[in-house]
Chains A and B, each alone.
Chain A
Amino acid sequence: MTTRDLLEETYSAVTVNKVRSGLTMLGIVIGIASVIALVAVGQGSQASIQASVDSLGANLVMVTPGAQATFGSGVRAAAGSAQTLTPDDATAIESVNNVAAVAPEISGRYQVVYKANNANTSIMGTTPAYLPVRDVSIDTGSFFTDQDVADSNLVAVIGPTVLQSLFAPSADASATPDMAIGQQIRINGNIFTVIGVTVAKGGSGFSNQDDMIYVPLGADQHYLLGSSAYLTEVDVEASTQQAMTQVQSDITNLLLQRHNIANAAQADFTILNQASIVSTASSVTGTFTTLLAAIAAISLLVGGIGIMNMMLTTVTERTREIGLRKAIGAKKNDITLQFLAESVMLTFGGGLIGIVLGWLAATVISIVTGVATSVSIPYILLAFFVSAAIGIIFGYYPARRAAGLNPIEALRYE
């Protein structure tokens, strides 16, 4: 039998009982659609976590005070609360090879007041190096300069969320950056002049950089925390991604030496780099994606069993037809191929519809819930081959059964 004849025979056999073929296909449609949609959700969240980690800044190495949690270490202080990192440590880190910029930081939450509005927000004392290191840019006005830091000038740069909470004229009107520039705000009782507004980053999670007020590090020390000499974090930008490991280990050695610690396991600081955050996050979302795919695979399996069930019924119903085909000279392979082609056509058709529906479902999910989804081509190809494979796997047994029928008994079958 030629391929074209095989396709014609298969098409007419599948379309004879449209309702039953449709219902059988539905199992595969749902299976494939859920694989596509759920994997899209999984990969979408992976991508959005990746993006939010990337938004922290490129090639970022973060040094925080306090020991790393290890097994059996018992209670440990929260990151940032330990007082072990000094501005001198930050200056020393600048001399490490392949370090592009270093931003020392002191942060804390304070009450901020502008006229009748007030907000509780993060105050970040830092240096101009913060901009490149954390990938922050200025929307309106300017960031403070090294001179401002040296002089401990009372100037502040605010994030867009702070702008809205302090400067919005009414509950339903939003504030423009121009309304804030030059205005005076009170932070913990001290008056600062707003000189700039940052661009919204839309970040969330680790620290929301939109809900933040930046002040020169010197000013922070003098007016907010008294003369505290300890930093809450030092952010370091490595010059290249390849250099990050080297930068991390050099900083570790440098600080161990400066803090007179011989055993690296007892370090009083923690170094995290972006790559390790990414790999932790993606291992979590990877597990999540695998879980979703496994659930979807189960529904695909059920669909496959539906195909097998229907093909077995078909073989029984068409026993006489099989007998006739054998009587006029069809061989075992002809019969096997014909029934395999029918099940593959069902699963392949189901797979195609499922891909389209899954894609639509992923789009609807991201519109309705706001969860990012990403439909990837490899998964579509995979779904394609899986649906064909299901047709072959679950159609093989019924097809062999049809081919093995004795023509005499098949012709006599009522």
Chain B
Amino acid sequence: MPNKDIIVCKDIKKAYGMGETMVVVLKGITFSIQEGEFVAIMGPSGSGKSTLMHILGALDTPTSGEYFLDGKDVSKLSDEELADIRREKIGFVFQAFNLLPRTSVLRNVSLPLIYANMPKEEREVIAKKALTDAAFPEAFWGYHSNQISGGMMQRVAIARSLVNNPALILADEPTGNLDSKTGEIVLHTFQNLNMTQGKTVVLITHEPYVAEHADRIIHIMDGNIVTDEKNHHKRLARNEKDIPHDNT
């Protein structure tokens, strides 16, 4: 059974400014991602990967070209329509976690459902399941987001990206603010969600080591795709309990 396309990009171009000061950031990007894939988009800073991520995440629209997300053309939608798309189809994970401070873990995870007008009882059930899926320990559910460690904060953010049952989880440098050990745990969480639940994950990173955890790696340089190939040396991240504790 052929898998359904979640992302279809056709000749996407993005330019900022006008006339002589115009800067072309994306120069014609074409690729597609199927349901259940784990794709890493790699590139150095200034390559256009952030701009591409904003377009994939429906935060911005391309100057030209077409972008279909889960079968829907989102390249020409208004700001308000883009907000609907983000709420219904996308789960974001950011480098800086972006949790609400002085707010409980549970409420942070429920936030997207609050904007979807879901009743409290219903959304708490979903949020608790998402926290479990993101391997966030139950003992900390009632803690405030500023009372837990960075690795835990990122798992809260992952849980938050899951609650709306998105077509696509978009992670922008999710390990950028973490040490290698907690970074590996976060990557394990993504791999686990991808392999056991079939979630489509797109990881934006500039670190080859992080990208090697994906099934497929797309290299971007100067606004063009340089390579787009299957990763034959996929690294499997270790789970928390498999990483030896250091006693420092």
Using a CB–CB distance below 8 Å, which chain A residues touch chain B? 1-2, 4-5, 9, 12, 16, 320-321, 323-332, 334, 407-408, 411
Given known A-B contacts A321-B100, A329-B88, A331-B80, A2 and B60 have beta carbons under 8 A apart? no
Interface residue stretch chosen among B110-118, B195-203, B204-212, B213-221: B110-118
Q: How many A-B residue pairs have CB under 8 A?
A: 63
In the bound complex, residues from chain A placing their C-beta under 8 Å from that of B228 are none
Asked if B115 and A328 make an inter-chain contact with CB atoms under 8 angstroms apart, the answer reads yes
In the bound complex, residues from chain B placing their C-beta under 8 Å from that of A321 are 98, 100
Asked if A1 and B59 make an inter-chain contact with CB atoms under 8 angstroms apart, the answer reads no
**Beyond the given A2-B119, A327-B92, could you list 13 further A-B residue pairs with CB under 8 A, ordered by the A residue number?**
A1-B117, A2-B114, A12-B102, A320-B98, A325-B111, A327-B57, A328-B92, A329-B84, A329-B116, A330-B83, A331-B80, A331-B115, A408-B54
Interface string of B31-68 (1 = CB under 8 A from A): 00000000000000000000000100101100000000
Asked if B116 and A411 make an inter-chain contact with CB atoms under 8 angstroms apart, the answer reads no
How far is it, in angstroms, between the C-alpha of A326 and the C-alpha of B79 when the chains are bound? 10
Asked if B98 and A324 make an inter-chain contact with CB atoms under 8 angstroms apart, the answer reads yes
In the bound complex, residues from chain B placing their C-beta under 8 Å from that of A408 are 54, 59-60
CB within 8 A of B102: which of A16, A327, A330? A16
Asked if B114 and A5 make an inter-chain contact with CB atoms under 8 angstroms apart, the answer reads yes
Q: Can you name 18 A-B pairs with beta carbons within 8 Å?
A: A4-B120, A16-B101, A321-B98, A321-B100, A323-B98, A324-B94, A328-B87, A328-B111, A329-B88, A329-B112, A329-B115, A329-B164, A330-B115, A332-B83, A334-B115, A407-B59, A411-B94, A411-B98
How far is it, in angstroms, between the C-alpha of A330 and the C-alpha of B80 when the chains are bound? 9
Q: Tell which of A4, A326, A332 has the most Cβ of chain B within 10 Å.
A: A326
In the bound complex, residues from chain A placing their C-beta under 8 Å from that of B10 are none
Asked if A332 and B79 make an inter-chain contact with CB atoms under 8 angstroms apart, the answer reads yes
Is B160 an interface position by the 8 A CB rule?
Answer: yes
How many chain B residues sit at the interface, stated as a range, is 20 to 34
In the bound complex, residues from chain B placing their C-beta under 8 Å from that of A407 are 59
How far is it, in angstroms, between the C-alpha of A320 and the C-alpha of B100 when the chains are bound? 10
Asked if B59 and A328 make an inter-chain contact with CB atoms under 8 angstroms apart, the answer reads no
Chain B residue nearest to A6 (CB atoms) is: B114
How far is it, in angstroms, between the C-alpha of A324 and the C-alpha of B101 when the chains are bound? 12
Chain A residue nearest to B110 (CB atoms) is: A5
Chain B residue nearest to A332 (CB atoms) is: B80
Chain A residue nearest to B161 (CB atoms) is: A328
In the bound complex, residues from chain A placing their C-beta under 8 Å from that of B120 are 4-5
Asked if B86 and A328 make an inter-chain contact with CB atoms under 8 angstroms apart, the answer reads yes
Interface string of B96-110 (1 = CB under 8 A from A): 101011110000000
In the bound complex, residues from chain B placing their C-beta under 8 Å from that of A328 are 86-87, 92, 111-112, 115, 160
Q: Which 10 pairs across A and B sit closest by C-beta, in order of nearness?
A: A329-B87, A324-B98, A328-B112, A331-B83, A329-B86, A5-B114, A329-B115, A330-B115, A327-B92, A408-B59
Asked if A1 and B114 make an inter-chain contact with CB atoms under 8 angstroms apart, the answer reads yes
Given known A-B contacts A1-B114, A407-B59, A326 and B83 have beta carbons under 8 A apart? yes
Q: How far is the CB of A268 from chain B (nearest CB, A)?
A: 82
Using a CB–CB distance below 8 Å, which chain B residues touch chain A? 54, 57, 59-60, 79-80, 83-84, 86-88, 92, 94, 96, 98, 100-103, 111-112, 114-117, 119-120, 160, 164
How far is it, in angstroms, between the C-alpha of A345 and the C-alpha of B59 when the chains are bound? 31
In the bound complex, residues from chain A placing their C-beta under 8 Å from that of B83 are 326, 329-332
How far is it, in angstroms, between the C-alpha of A12 and the C-alpha of B103 when the chains are bound? 8
How far is it, in angstroms, between the C-alpha of A328 and the C-alpha of B84 when the chains are bound? 9
How far is it, in angstroms, between the C-alpha of A408 and the C-alpha of B164 when the chains are bound? 21
Q: How far is the CB of B38 from chain A (nearest CB, A)?
A: 22
In the bound complex, residues from chain B placing their C-beta under 8 Å from that of A334 are 115
How far is it, in angstroms, between the C-alpha of A407 and the C-alpha of B59 when the chains are bound? 7
How far is it, in angstroms, between the C-alpha of A330 and the C-alpha of B164 when the chains are bound? 13
In the bound complex, residues from chain A placing their C-beta under 8 Å from that of B102 are 12, 16
Q: How far is the CB of A377 from chain B (nearest CB, A)?
A: 38
In the bound complex, residues from chain A placing their C-beta under 8 Å from that of B116 are 329
Given known A-B contacts A321-B100, A326-B83, A408-B60, A2 and B117 have beta carbons under 8 A apart? yes
Q: How far is the CB of B108 from chain A (nearest CB, A)?
A: 10
Chain A residue nearest to B95 (CB atoms) is: A411
How far is it, in angstroms, between the C-alpha of A327 and the C-alpha of B164 when the chains are bound? 13
How far is it, in angstroms, between the C-alpha of A170 and the C-alpha of B112 when the chains are bound? 85
How far is it, in angstroms, between the C-alpha of A191 and the C-alpha of B54 when the chains are bound? 109
Q: How far is the CB of A201 from chain B (nearest CB, A)?
A: 64
In the bound complex, residues from chain A placing their C-beta under 8 Å from that of B79 are 332
How far is it, in angstroms, between the C-alpha of A9 and the C-alpha of B104 when the chains are bound? 12
In the bound complex, residues from chain A placing their C-beta under 8 Å from that of B60 are 408
Chain A residue nearest to B160 (CB atoms) is: A328
In the bound complex, residues from chain B placing their C-beta under 8 Å from that of A331 are 80, 83-84, 115
Q: Tell which of B114, B117, B119, B164 has the most Cβ of chain A within 10 Å.
A: B114
Chain B residue nearest to A331 (CB atoms) is: B83
Q: How far is the CB of A273 from chain B (nearest CB, A)?
A: 66
In the bound complex, residues from chain B placing their C-beta under 8 Å from that of A12 are 102-103
Q: How far is the CB of A336 from chain B (nearest CB, A)?
A: 12
Asked if B59 and A327 make an inter-chain contact with CB atoms under 8 angstroms apart, the answer reads yes
In the bound complex, residues from chain A placing their C-beta under 8 Å from that of B119 are 2
Chain A residue nearest to B88 (CB atoms) is: A329
How far is it, in angstroms, between the C-alpha of A106 and the C-alpha of B79 when the chains are bound? 88
How far is it, in angstroms, between the C-alpha of A328 and the C-alpha of B110 when the chains are bound? 11
